[in-house]
């Protein structure tokens, strides 16, 4: 959808707008030529073929597109890729360490914290961010700070179980 | 989304000059509302000026008046979790953390929070008449499904509500908005910043063309001893308020020396009634007195087909929140449920 909708404003041609964007994706320096209206989500999925990050609502309501940007969890669907020039992005593809699954990934498997799996990459990236923020002190607060990630299958209680297995608040204060 | 050109501004001067050069340009900060509206084809900027790297708006600092200046480009999360805000303006922290999701708070900025558009369903439905989106087309909410709409300060042109939580606290705190434009810098008192719809519902606020928000000043009084933010909504998190209340009290024993009460979810702007705050001065902080204050605040409220319940809900929320403000260490701790 990133280049096809020319509904108004057709005097701005795509070619005039192309910009060079350099960012580090999962530790690898990457350069793209993009028009400014391409979201970070579309840049990841369509231009870099990193399809782990999911497009759910594409409007900031579901959290499926959550990635880490310079250490913070953000919604890639509401982020213009050009605005993240020189940033460091971590997607679900970059969460494991040399083939060793991240403890959250293992816990999601152990606790059966997904059915269809579509929200899972966003849930895990969001949980990584939540743990680094270190603000939640108990299960209710973990739930509150994970509320931006919706699971429509009904795995939500297992998702929180999996996160609680890994997250020990005391060590983050 | 339409095509557009994009530049980055490094200074407020550069950003303001960019706005002056192109009346179809918009400023891009967190983008959580602007990009969404552009994706829905409801907003069409020819040019975006990315102000995320603008210097001078990136910090939270004590100001010369004994208060705090919030940089316009500090994120909502960094503001809510800032030690100075947590200690001196916990009402503001609480309100910010009641809004949106953690991801959105990591992106959204303080300036952008003030400038977010309504979440009225009909404003978002490009096929529905909407005076806010297209002046003169009518208001679909008047005769439509209006459960989330306003009960105070409405006009026959528009019954939309302003959705921010942060701004409800800023209204109670009597914050001051600092703006910069072609004519230089000026300040706008918070109560004058957002507008009522009247005959010009397309204007959300009193910013002039080409002006940008550079910061928000918080006065010295932060009500850190007695405060409460209560948000009532259809689900317990990540949902806009049906009714919210920000209350700050200064007490001598159980007597009120100073009261501030602002409502969210009920009008086109955070709603304050100074007569009610004046009434509480010198009174006991009791349910009876908060009830009388609530009646004053809701005076003139008019419900529509599906939202008349908000009038009673707002009154009860004001009373409950007044009592909650007496004991914030118990009622305002993170994760505390509104039933406390």
β-pairing verdict for A88-90 and A19-25: parallel
Q: Looking at beta carbons, which residues of chain A come within 8 Å of B50?
A: 80, 82-83
Per CB-CB distance under 8 Å, the chain B contacts of A72 are 77, 106
Task: Flag the least confident range among B62-66, B240-244, B276-280.
Answer: B62-66
CB contact under 8 A, B238 and A138: no
Chain A contact for B100, CB < 8 A?
yes
Kindly state the average pLDDT of the residues B20-25: 96
- Compute the mean pLDDT over every residue in chain B, rounded to the nearest whole number: 96
pLDDT tens for each residue of B85-125: 999 999 999 999 999 999 999 999 999 999 999 999 999 99
CB pairs under 8 A between A and B: 116
Closest CA to B228 of B328, B334, B318, B86: B328
**Does B332 have pLDDT greater than 90?**
no
The pLDDT value recorded for residue A17 is 87
- Please give the pLDDT value at position B103: 98
pLDDT digits (tens, 9 = 90+) for A50-99: 999 999 999 999 999 999 999 999 999 999 999 999 999 999 999 999 99
State the average pLDDT for chain A.
91
Domain boundaries, chain B: 1-55, 226-331
Residue B32: how many CB atoms within 10 A of its CB? 25
- Give the residue-averaged pLDDT of A125-149: 95
Distance from CA of B337 to the nearest CA of A (A): 10
Residue in B2, B32, B48 closest to A78 by CB: B32
| Among A11, A19, A33, A37, the residue to mutate for chain B (most B Cβ within 10 A) | A37
Mean pLDDT of B194-208: 98
Question: Quick check: A1 pLDDT over 80?
Answer: no
Q: How far is it, in rounded angstroms, from Cα A14 to Cα A36?
A: 9
| pLDDT at A168 (0 to 100) | 77
pLDDT at B198: 98
Contact flag A36-B48 (C-beta cutoff 8 Å): yes
- Binary contact (A66, B103; C-beta < 8 A): yes
Would you state the pLDDT for residue B339? Answer: 44
What is residue B271's three-state secondary structure? Answer: strand
Chain A touched by B23 (CB under 8 Å) = no
B39 touching A (Cβ < 8 Å) = yes
**Can you tell me the ipTM of this complex?**
0.96
pLDDT at A7: 46
C-alpha span between B120 and B161 (Å, rounded)? 7
When CB atoms are compared, the residue of B36, B39, B44 closest to A9 is B44
Please tell me the predicted confidence (pLDDT) of residue B337: 57
- Residue A12: pLDDT band (50, 70, 90) is low
In whole angstroms, give the CA distance from residue B260 to residue B281.
10
Instruction: Give per-residue pLDDT as tens, B137-184.
Output: 999 999 999 999 999 999 999 999 999 999 999 999 999 999 999 999
Residue B249 structure tokens: 């009290």
Q: Does domain B226-331 sit in CATH 3.40.50.300?
A: no
Domains and CATH numbers, chain A: 14-94 (3.10.20.30), 103-172 (1.10.150.120)
pLDDT at B251 over 50: yes
Please report, rounded to a whole number, the percentage of residues in chain A having pLDDT higher than 90: 86
B22 in contact with chain A, both atoms CB, cutoff 8 A: no
CA dist B18 to A21, B41, B177, B208, Å?
A: 22, 23, 21, 15
Q: With contacts defined as CB-CB under 8 Å, which chain A residues touch B103?
A: 60, 63, 66, 73-75, 126, 129, 148
pLDDT on residue B73 = 98
Q: Which of A131-140, B65-74, B304-313 has the lowest mean pLDDT?
A: A131-140
CATH 3.30.43.10 fits B1-55, yes or no: yes
pLDDT for A108 beyond 50: yes
Q: How far is B308 from chain A (nearest CA, A)?
A: 28
**Nearest C-alpha of chain B: how many angstroms from A57?**
11
Q: Do B5 and A16 touch (CB under 8 A)?
A: yes
Q: How far is A65 from chain B (nearest CA, A)?
A: 10
DSSP string covering A52-74: TS--SSSSSSS-TTEEEETTEEE
Name which of A156-170, B3-17, B279-293 the model is least confident about. A156-170
For residue B267 the two structure tokens come to 């009008």
C-alpha distance from residue B299 to each of B244, B271, B294 (Å): 17, 12, 8
pLDDT given for residue A6 in this prediction? 43
Query: Nearest Cβ partner of B6 from A36, A60, A147?
Result: A36
Using the 8-state DSSP alphabet, how is residue A172 labeled? G
Tokens standing for B45?
A: 């900027």
């Amino acid at each position: 959808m990133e280049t096809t909708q020319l509904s108004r404003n057709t005097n701005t041609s795509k070619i005039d707008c192309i910009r060079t964007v350099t960012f580090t994706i999962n530790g690898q320096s990457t350069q793209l030529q993009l028009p400014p209206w391409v979201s970070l989500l579309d840049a990841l999925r369509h231009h870099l073929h990193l399809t782990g990050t999911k497009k759910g609502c594409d409007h900031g309501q579901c959290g499926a597109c959550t990635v880490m940007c310079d250490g913070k969890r953000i919604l890639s669907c509401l982020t213009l890729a050009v605005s993240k020039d020189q940033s460091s992005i971590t997607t679900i593809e970059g969460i494991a360490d040399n083939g060793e699954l991240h403890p959250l990934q293992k816990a999601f498997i152990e606790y059966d914290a997904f059915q269809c799996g579509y929200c899972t990459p966003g849930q895990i990236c969001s949980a990584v961010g939540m743990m680094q923020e270190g603000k939640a002190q108990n299960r209710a607060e973990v739930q509150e700070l994970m509320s931006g990630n919706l699971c429509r299958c009904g795995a939500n209680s297992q998702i929180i179980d999996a996160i609680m297995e890994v997250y020990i608040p005391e060590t983050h204060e | 989304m339409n095509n557009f050109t994009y530049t980055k501004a490094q200074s407020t001067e550069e950003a303001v000059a960019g706005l002056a050069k192109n009346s179809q340009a918009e400023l891009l900060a967190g983008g959580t509302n602007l990009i969404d509206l552009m994706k829905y084809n409801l907003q069409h900027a020819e040019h975006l000026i990315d102000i995320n790297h603008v210097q001078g708006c990136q910090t939270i600092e004590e100001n010369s008046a004994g208060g705090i200046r919030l940089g316009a480009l500090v994120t909502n999360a960094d503001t809510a979790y800032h030690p100075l805000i947590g200690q001196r303006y916990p009402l503001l922290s609480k309100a910010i953390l009641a809004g949106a999701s953690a991801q959105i708070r990591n992106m959204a900025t303080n300036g952008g929070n003030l400038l977010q558009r309504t979440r009225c369903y009909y404003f978002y439905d490009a096929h529905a008449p909407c005076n806010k989106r297209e002046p003169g087309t009518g208001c679909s909410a008047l005769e439509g499904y209006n459960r989330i709409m306003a009960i105070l300060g409405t006009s026959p042109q528009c019954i939309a509500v302003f959705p921010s939580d942060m701004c409800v606290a800023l209204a109670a705190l009597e914050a001051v908005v600092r703006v910069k434009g072609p004519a230089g810098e000026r300040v706008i008192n918070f109560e004058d910043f957002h507008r009522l719809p009247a005959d010009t519902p397309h204007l959300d606020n009193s910013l002039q063309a080409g002006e940008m928000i550079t910061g928000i000043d918080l006065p010295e009084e932060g009500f850190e001893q007695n405060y409460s933010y209560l948000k009532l909504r259809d689900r317990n998190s990540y949902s806009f308020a049906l009714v919210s209340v920000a209350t700050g009290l200064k007490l001598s024993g159980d007597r009120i020396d100073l009261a501030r009460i602002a409502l969210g979810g009920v009008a086109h702007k955070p709603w304050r009634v100074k007569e009610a705050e004046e009434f509480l001065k010198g009174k006991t902080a009791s349910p009876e007195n908060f009830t009388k204050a609530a009646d004053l605040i809701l005076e003139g409220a008019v419900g529509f087909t599906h939202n008349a319940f908000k009038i009673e809900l707002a009154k009860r929320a004001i009373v409950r929140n007044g009592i909650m403000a007496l004991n914030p260490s118990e009622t305002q701790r993170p994760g505390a449920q509104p039933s406390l």
